[in-house]
């Protein structure tokens, strides 16, 4: 039964991938987690028995889920609220989300947290398209606190190895182009995020990133906006911040507005 301290899987699914997505906390016990070691997109796994170690670092609002949405998530969410952090539980827990066929991220594909519990991703400096799209996907669906390092192209692999990061969008690494697919496509596949909106966005990104405007009518627009941003910002991280908003907008169009058109009214009011 719904209450003021629960959220349905359907409502949560509308928030994931957007800037308004709450902090998601997976508190399933070890046995339940090992039976299906996947996470709801952007969720962090936390040990309920060590609540005191991490309760102060949770950003509000938070959504907590366990296997079926009973005592474990109820208790952790209540403790968070007692600590001053707005928190709800996911109705039906992990099982309800899974049974509704919402996307789940396999943990074996996720990079291990390195710096302050955050994953580190390393790529070439001066990004244009793929190297902005991929960090957007990571931060919106995998690790909201991911650290993105832009470095000299020749040093990407060495920096990633030295600092425990994952190199991406360079030759001869796991997270890179494969055949006709760009790195953004690969990440969507590997992270289990092949939803209709993200696949539509992937076609736009691939068209813009690989000089294939025939793949999507919107690809030239993304290319133009991306090249414009690269000339507006000398700092790669400032460009990434601006690019996050750009991809937020493209994602929402892909999810919610592809059927909408806009025309100048030819008839004056009252005519």
Measure the CA–CA gap between 28 and 37, rounded to whole angstroms: 10
Cα(118)–Cα(165) distance, integer angstroms: 10
pLDDT of residue 265: 76
Burial 197-217 (b: 16+ CB within 10 A, else e): bbebbbbbbbbbbbeebebbe
DSSP code, position 153 = G
pLDDT for res 264 = 83
Where the chain has pLDDT below 50, the residues are 1-2
End-to-end CA distance of the chain: 52
Measured CA to CA, the distance from residue 192 to residue 218 in angstroms comes to 24
Q: Give the chain's domains with CATH numbers.
A: 6-106 (3.40.250.10), 120-257 (no CATH)
CA distances from 175 to 61, 172, 192 (A): 32, 9, 14
For the question of whether the overall pTM of this predicted structure is more than 0.85, the answer is yes
Please state whether beta strands 38-39 and 44-45 pair in parallel, antiparallel, or not at all (unpaired): unpaired
Quote the CA–CA distance of 207 and 182 in Å, as a whole number.
9
């Amino acid at each position: 039964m719904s209450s003021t301290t629960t959220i349905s899987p359907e409502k949560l699914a509308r928030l994931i991938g957007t800037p308004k997505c709450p902090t998601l906390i997976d508190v399933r016990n070890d046995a339940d987690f090992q039976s299906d070691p996947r996470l709801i997109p952007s969720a962090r796994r936390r040990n309920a028995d060590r609540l005191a170690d991490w309760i102060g670092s949770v950003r509000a609002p938070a959504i907590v889920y366990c296997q079926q949405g009973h005592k474990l998530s109820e208790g952790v969410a209540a403790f968070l609220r007692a600590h001053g952090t707005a928190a709800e539980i996911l109705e039906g827990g992990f099982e309800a989300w899974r049974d509704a066929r919402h996307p789940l991220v396999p943990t074996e594909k996720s990079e291990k947290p390195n710096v302050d519990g955050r994953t580190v991703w390393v790529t070439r400096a001066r990004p244009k398209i793929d190297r902005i799209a991929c960090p957007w996907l990571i931060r919106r669906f995998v690790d909201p606190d991911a650290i993105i390092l832009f470095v000299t192209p020749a040093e990407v692999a060495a920096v990633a190895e030295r600092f425990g990061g994952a190199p991406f969008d360079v030759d001869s690494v796991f997270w890179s182009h494969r055949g006709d697919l760009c790195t953004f496509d690969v990440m969507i596949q590997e992270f289990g995020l092949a939803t209709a909106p993200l696949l539509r966005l992937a076609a736009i990104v691939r068209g813009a990133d690989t000089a294939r405007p025939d793949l999507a009518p919107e690809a030239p627009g993304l290319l133009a906006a991306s090249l414009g941003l690269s000339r507006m910002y000398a700092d790669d991280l400032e460009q990434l911040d601006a690019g996050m908003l750009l991809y937020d907008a493209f994602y929402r169009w892909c999810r919610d507005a592809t059927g909408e058109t806009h025309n100048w009214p030819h008839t004056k009011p009252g005519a």
